[in-house]
């Protein structure tokens, strides 16, 4: 049992309500492949966003048995309620009192479904934060300093990348050469002041639901011919990316961003059951970005999630020229653009 959940065994539930707003994040070094129970096969690093957030209110009421109801944008969503129910059941050994709770969740996103931004990181980190708040309510004497660690630990068990969203700025997750990183939860990463205000404009090439989920994609790494080479590359990129972020070297960060995006999608193209989530306009946009960089020498780079949409990353000081290029030259290749930037992390609301 993890130390972070070790002293909640003999508690009796009481009524409580908690509300959190939590952001999505974009990985600079990607988590792709698992080991053990929700542990990453390689370290990852991400930037927390500002505008793309989920707000979640959770009401905990003592009851005879565990039940979960969930409303998304005011509409009952049984599929998500079941997901949370299964997640809470998986925590019963550490937190047996969960079995005696009625849990009512109301949640909403600032980014509508179909914008190609995964809501699992923001949604599940917001829920994990309300659950962590509840644990704090039950054990108020607990040390405040472990609050975010515990929230990150609980978020990881719900969805890997969600564990990085509990911190503002940048976050690392997974064992690495850095002593403070661990597979169990994410830790905050401080970066050079020049890179502390990066933008992320998301070019939504397609907002349609993807046909191979991230869970299935992680699974396909299990028997992937290149899995070990990919994990070694991610470790190498992780160390280089941390160093570049700390040194304020945007060019080095940008090279890793694009290499990571293309490696992630190369894993899909070469997996035992081949597939791709890229669309023709994803490639067309990449080519325009490379041409723009060649011609202007301005630091605009892209990365990709497990989907066709480009996250366009650039420093604040070039915002005007780069946003003009994005709005005029890239927007015809997509359905819409969401201009976001690095954010300060979750907050109670
Ligand atoms: O957290 P999951 O299981 O949705 O996986 C996230 C995978 C990527 O978004 C592609 C990479 C990452 O590190 O966020």
pLDDT at 210: 86
pLDDT at 330: 98
Task: Look at the pTM and tell me if it is higher than 0.75.
Answer: yes
Closest residue to atom 9 of ligand 1, CA basis:
305
pLDDT (tens digit per residue) in 286-320: 999 999 999 999 999 999 999 999 999 999 999 99
Contacts of 155 (CB under 8 A, 6+ apart): 124, 125, 128, 129, 162, 163, 165, 166
Of 310, 326, 334, 340, whose CA–CA distance to 110 is shortest? 340
Secondary structure (3-state) at 212? coil
Q: Which of 17-26, 107-116, 181-190, 323-332 has the lowest mean pLDDT?
A: 107-116
Q: Kindly state if the Cβ of 305 falls inside 6 Å of ligand 1.
A: yes
Q: Kindly state if the Cβ of 334 falls inside 6 Å of ligand 1.
A: no
Contact 300/311 with Cβ under 8 angstroms?
Answer: no
pLDDT at 82: 98
CA atoms of 190 and 193, how far apart (whole Å): 9
CA atoms of 266 and 260, how far apart (whole Å): 10
Measured in Å, residue 32 CA sits from the centre of ligand 1 at 7
- What is the number of residues in the chain? 349
Q: Kindly state if the Cβ of 165 falls inside 6 Å of ligand 1.
A: no
Measured in Å, residue 151 CA sits from the centre of ligand 1 at 18
Measured in Å, residue 289 CA sits from the centre of ligand 1 at 24
| Helix H or strand E encompassing 295 | helix 280-296
Positive or negative torsion for Cα 339, 343, 345, 346: negative
- Return the number of other C-beta atoms located less than 10 Å from residue 178's C-beta: 15
CA atoms of 31 and 43, how far apart (whole Å): 7
- Is 1 a residue whose pLDDT tops 70? no
Mean pLDDT of 119-148: 93
- Rounded to 5 degrees, what are φ and ψ at 190? -90, 145
The encoded tokens of residue 254 equal 């940008």
Mean pLDDT of 125-137: 97
Q: Kindly state if the Cβ of 120 falls inside 6 Å of ligand 1.
A: yes
Relative orientation angle of helices 147-158 and 120-138, to the nearest 10 degrees: 130
Q: Report which ligand 1 atom has the smallest distance to the Cα of 120.
A: 4
Contact 60/16 with Cβ under 8 angstroms?
Answer: yes
Of 52, 49, 68, whose CA–CA distance to 60 is shortest? 68
Q: Kindly state if the Cβ of 265 falls inside 6 Å of ligand 1.
A: no
């Amino acid at each position: 049992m993890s130390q972070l959940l070790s002293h909640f065994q003999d508690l009796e539930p009481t009524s409580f309500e908690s509300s959190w707003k939590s952001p999505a994040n974009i990985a600079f070094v990607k988590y792709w492949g698992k080991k053990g129970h929700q542990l990453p096969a390689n370290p990852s690093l991400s930037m927390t966003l500002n505008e793309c957030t989920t707000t979640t209110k959770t009401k905990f009421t003592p009851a005879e048995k565990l039940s979960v109801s969930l409303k998304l944008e005011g509409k009952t969503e049984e599929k998500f309620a079941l997901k949370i129910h299964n997640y809470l059941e998986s925590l019963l050994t550490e937190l047996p009192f969960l079995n005696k709770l009625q849990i009512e969740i109301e949640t909403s996103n600032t980014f509508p479904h179909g914008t190609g931004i995964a809501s699992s990181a923001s949604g599940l980190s917001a829920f994990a934060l309300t659950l962590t708040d509840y644990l704090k309510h039950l054990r108020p004497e607990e040390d405040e300093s472990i609050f975010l660690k515990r929230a990150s630990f609980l978020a990881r068990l719900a969805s890997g990348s969600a564990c990085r969203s509990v911190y503002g700025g940048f976050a690392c997750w997974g064992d690495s050469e850095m002593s403070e990183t661990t597979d169990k939860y994410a830790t905050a990463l401080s970066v050079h002041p020049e890179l502390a205000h990066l933008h992320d404009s998301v070019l939504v090439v397609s907002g349609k639901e993807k046909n191979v989920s991230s869970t299935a994609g992680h699974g396909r790494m299990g028997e992937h011919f290149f899995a070990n080479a990919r994990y070694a590359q991610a470790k190498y990129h992780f160390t280089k990316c941390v160093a570049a972020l700390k040194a304020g070297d945007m060019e080095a960060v940008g090279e890793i961003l694009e290499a990571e995006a293309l490696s992630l999608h190369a894993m899909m193209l070469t997996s035992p059951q081949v597939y791709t989530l890229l669309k023709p306009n994803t490639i067309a946009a990449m080519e325009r970005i490379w041409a723009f960089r060649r011609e202007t020498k301005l630091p605009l780079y892209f990365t990709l999630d497990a989907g066709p949409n480009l996250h366009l990353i650039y420093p604040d000081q070039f915002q005007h020229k780069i946003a003009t290029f994005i709005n005029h030259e890239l927007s015809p290749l997509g359905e819409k653009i969401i201009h976001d930037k690095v954010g300060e992390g979750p907050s109670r609301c």
